Structure 1
Amino acid sequence: MEADANRRNLLLLITLRWLAVAGQVATIAIADLALDLALPLQQMGLVIVFLVGLNLISLHRVASGLEVSDSELCVELLLDVAALTLQLYLSGGATNPFISLYLLQVILAAVLLPPAASWAIVAVTSLAFVWLSRFYRPLDLGTTGHAHGASTFFDLHLQGMFLCFLLAAVLVVLFVTRITGNLRERDAHLAEMRQRAAEEEHIVRMGLLATGAAHELGTPLATLSVILNDWEHLQPIDGDGELAEDLEEMQAAIARCKSIVSQILLAAGEARPEETRRAALAGFLDEMVARWREARRPAELSYRNGVRPDLVVACDGMMQQMLFNVLDNALEASPGHVDVEALQQGDDILVRVRDAGSGFAPEALAQIGKPYQSTKPQPGRGLGLFLSTNVLRKLGGGLSARNLAGGGACVELRLPVAALAVEDADAA
């Protein structure tokens, strides 16, 4: 992030240097042609050529994509100070009103560089100012100066001071605001990355808790399963139809608990690799929606699948749980109707889940995907969309939500095809 901000700031320095070149060419032309000032055009032209060459090198440096450091920005500013010092030496030294342009270099250093480097620029410009007050090439006013003497020089000096002030003020506003914008963007990105790191740490803690609970539950569930199997063969239960039916129901509940535990371990990466299977995404979505319909039994479920049938993906329980979280939220908001649509849009797979509920509150939409953002009063709620958001983010996709004009809400899951698709085993 720091290197990216420095790269953008180097581009701003390059732009400023192009403006300096144009300004120097225009000023020298006006002084020579309109004011008849005798200037060492060849030497001043060489300084301008140096600035043009420096800019071309800097542009190549940016195009290379290599990291731009604070030290490199400091060297760039020092070279600009050196070029300005040479031009001032050739055109009157400290008596030249454009000597106040040193302040622009100091301001840029204060914004772009660390304190130590900024103070170094202050020291260099101050020494250059002192040196120019004693060593410089005096201005030759030519015929204009001989005709009007000191008054003409004073008028030119005032005009030059005004032009220098105007130029410095405009450049400070234009470039310092853009530089501070780059820095603000960097800080905002840094804050976002810190927030994401905190959320991922939260997921790690929940994952450790979930896998620990799954391991702990494995033993008692296995014990209950063995006991229920033994009871099934007991004569009193075998002869009682009602008890046998209850026993069968208990065994089904135990089997479901064991399946949930297996899914938790699978999502944590502790299941065997063969439990992740390859399947057509369209069929996998059909299977997941059918499984959710059977388990939740919504009053009305509309489902449309427009995914290409030949798209093969690596399927696991994490994708199923991600979709189930969103569908469960929609069902809680709208028990009477849930609408699911899967389609392919460019390089992405979109799954849209709509409900007919009251929609999201504005503050909930602003915090969508954050942990514990729920309107439900029970503690620990609001993790479903948070977990789904982070799963999608890991895959390079995303989750978005909006309220519908006619009532209800729509949650959209976006998954890149490249993150899901796998080559066919025969082709491999």
Structure 2
Amino acid sequence: MRDAHAINLSWLLRLRWGAVVGQGGLILLAHLGLGMPLPLLPLFATVGVGAVSNVALGLWSRRPREIREWMLWAVMALDVVLLTVLLDLSGGPFNPFSTLYLVHIALAAVVLHARWTWALVALASACFGTLFVRHLWVPGGASGATHHHINDVPLHLEGMWLAFGVASAFIVYFVQRVTRALAEREAELMAARAVTARNEKLAALATLAAGAAHELSTPLSTIAVVARELERRAELSPAGREDAQLIRQQVARCHDILAQMAADAGASRGEAFVAVTPAVLLERVLEGLRGRERVQVEADGRHGQEQVSLPAGALTHAIRGVVKNALQASPPEGRVRLALVREERGWRLSVEDQGAGMPAEVLARAGEPFFTTKPPGEGMGLGLFLARAVLDQLGGKLELRSVPGQGTRVEMTWPVERLRQFAPLSPEAGEASVQASGA
């Protein structure tokens, strides 16, 4: 992600190329079109200095390096000096294009801090004042000044109008483009902050799961051992033996819940990447899923056997949570549509339900941890949150679209090639996951 100074420099380079072309065109127009006698060689040499400096600056900025604010000021100061030379060679303070000083000052106000902007204002004022000294206040300071087009007042006024238009166009173009680039950078920063916040919440959930698994694994194991010993006692009645078996079954269920909680909280983030086809991935998603007969799968057959390197367990669990949400949101006879499509950069999986949809205020909060509209006991509000966290780690994304009365559409995308590794969990969370699954 580029910083603000790099963005400003890139647009400053484009503006300078526009200035070089515009200066050359105006010189030729004045000399050939309007018949003004101008020193073409010094003028084009000055324009050439600006072009050469822009080429050098462009080559220098291609390599990754830190752009400092004083560098931007130095480029603008060079442009002010070059403008002063051009004006000095073409009429000095009588040249209506002296208003272009304001372009540099306006740009400095946008991209530089106050002290650098005032420094450029001081430089521009000094350069402009030098033109008055040479052409007005010092006799003979600039030869040929009496023959300048100031003697033709209508032409001078027309030049002022043209200079105003050029200055306005440069200011509006540059300010709008820089503002747009900075807004895009701010959006990238906000997205990065959102990903960081989700990862922090995921780490907090992992810590919670680690603590719960660690504290509960030992008493549950003790209960399971005692229940097994009770079953072996001969004096135990059949009803008591059934109760002991029920206790063992419930303890085993608690073990499974702890293992699932550890996986939900991010224990799967340390999972190794394996090669798997999207078709096999969908089969794993639907395997053992209650209500799978209501799921309609539409897969891209042309690329169905293409293998992708990813953490199959984590992604399978993430997609399964989204599909389970869609089944719960749809009426009992409603169907859920899964559409898997191969795109240029990766795969896109769409999950559409036939539920009641979500209003805007609910849609804005969907995906927050522990936010759910389900009845108590049917969900904790972690499915979308964990799915988005897994896709973020893969370099993909999750998007929600919903219209009240028309159902909800969840789109999940992930790249063909893995873009980043999953971050490993803390040793405590990994240990808790092992204890929860093996207790």
Scaled by the length of structure 1, what TM-score is found?
0.81
RMSD: 3.6
Which of 360, 363, 372 aligns to 1:362? It is 360
Distance 1:333 1:81, change over 3 A: same
Matched, 1:255 2:246: no
Distance 1:232 1:339, change over 3 A: farther
Identify the residue that residue 387 of structure 1 maps to in structure 2. Answer: 386
Q: Deviations over 1:193-217 (max 9, x none)?
A: 2233223222222221121112112
Q: How big is the shift at 1:45?
A: 1.2
Q: Which amino acid aligns with 1:87?
A: L
Q: Secondary structure at the match of 2:53?
A: helix
Distance 1:8 1:309, change over 3 A: same
The separation in 1 between residues aligned to 2:206 and 2:376, in whole angstroms, is 21
Which of 329, 332, 341 aligns to 1:333? It is 329
* 5+ long unaligned stretches in structure 1: 423-428
Q: Deviations over 1:5-43 (max 9, x none)?
A: 434433332332233223322332233234443322211
Which of 284, 288, 291 aligns to 1:291? It is 288
Higher relative contact order (CA 8 A, sep 6+): 2
Q: How big is the shift at 1:378?
A: 5.7
Q: Which amino acid aligns with 1:301?
A: R
> Are the aligned partners of 2:230 and 2:241 in contact in 1 as well (CA < 8 Å)?
no
> Are the aligned partners of 1:333 and 1:355 in contact in 2 as well (CA < 8 Å)?
yes
The separation in 1 between residues aligned to 2:292 and 2:244, in whole angstroms, is 28
The separation in 2 between residues aligned to 1:34 and 1:305, in whole angstroms, is 68
Q: How big is the shift at 1:125?
A: 0.8
Identify the residue that residue 425 of structure 1 maps to in structure 2. Answer: none
Which of 286, 295, 303 aligns to 1:302? It is 295
Q: Which amino acid aligns with 1:118?
A: T
Q: Which amino acid aligns with 1:393?
A: D
Q: Secondary structure at the match of 2:400?
A: strand
Superposed, 1:381-420 pairs within 5 Å as 381-403=380-402, 407-419=406-418
Q: How big is the shift at 1:107?
A: 0.5
Q: Secondary structure at the match of 1:411?
A: strand
Distance 1:10 1:159, change over 3 A: same
> Are the aligned partners of 1:91 and 1:138 in contact in 2 as well (CA < 8 Å)?
no
The separation in 2 between residues aligned to 1:41 and 1:57, in whole angstroms, is 24
The separation in 2 between residues aligned to 1:351 and 1:24, in whole angstroms, is 54
Q: Secondary structure at the match of 2:417?
A: helix
> Are the aligned partners of 2:210 and 2:262 in contact in 1 as well (CA < 8 Å)?
yes
Distance 1:138 1:383, change over 3 A: farther
Q: Deviations over 1:217-249 (max 9, x none)?
A: 211211121122112213354634xx5445434
Q: Which amino acid aligns with 2:416?
A: V
Scaled by the length of structure 2, what TM-score is found?
0.79
The separation in 2 between residues aligned to 1:291 and 1:11, in whole angstroms, is 55
Q: Deviations over 1:118-149 (max 9, x none)?
A: 1221111111122222125354465x97xxxx
The separation in 2 between residues aligned to 1:277 and 1:226, in whole angstroms, is 37
Q: Deviations over 1:260-284 (max 9, x none)?
A: 32344456676998x8695745445
Identify the residue that residue 208 of structure 2 maps to in structure 1. Answer: 209
Superposed, 1:50-89 pairs within 5 Å as 50-64=49-63, 66-89=65-88
* Number of positions where the alignment pairs a residue of Structure 1 with one of Structure 2: 408
Distance 1:350 1:154, change over 3 A: closer
* 5+ long unaligned stretches in structure 2: 136-141, 422-439
Distance 1:162 1:139, change over 3 A: farther
> Are the aligned partners of 1:237 and 1:244 in contact in 2 as well (CA < 8 Å)?
yes
Identify the residue that residue 426 of structure 1 maps to in structure 2. Answer: none
Distance 1:174 1:314, change over 3 A: closer
The separation in 2 between residues aligned to 1:75 and 1:405, in whole angstroms, is 57
> Are the aligned partners of 1:110 and 1:118 in contact in 2 as well (CA < 8 Å)?
yes
The separation in 2 between residues aligned to 1:239 and 1:277, in whole angstroms, is 49
> Are the aligned partners of 1:91 and 1:139 in contact in 2 as well (CA < 8 Å)?
no
Q: Secondary structure at the match of 2:381?
A: coil
Q: Deviations over 1:328-366 (max 9, x none)?
A: 322321252453637451453444433332123233334
Matched, 1:318 2:311: no
Q: Secondary structure at the match of 1:203?
A: helix
The separation in 1 between residues aligned to 2:321 and 2:268, in whole angstroms, is 21
Higher alpha-carbon deviation: 78-87 or 185-194: 185-194
> Are the aligned partners of 1:37 and 1:141 in contact in 2 as well (CA < 8 Å)?
no
Q: Secondary structure at the match of 1:133?
A: helix
Matched, 1:100 2:99: yes
- What fraction of aligned residue pairs are identical, expressed as a percent? 36
Matched, 1:10 2:6: no
Higher alpha-carbon deviation: 131-140 or 301-310: 301-310
Q: How big is the shift at 1:108?
A: 0.3
Q: Which amino acid aligns with 2:193?
A: R
> Are the aligned partners of 1:314 and 1:420 in contact in 2 as well (CA < 8 Å)?
no
Q: Which amino acid aligns with 2:393?
A: K
Distance 1:40 1:407, change over 3 A: closer
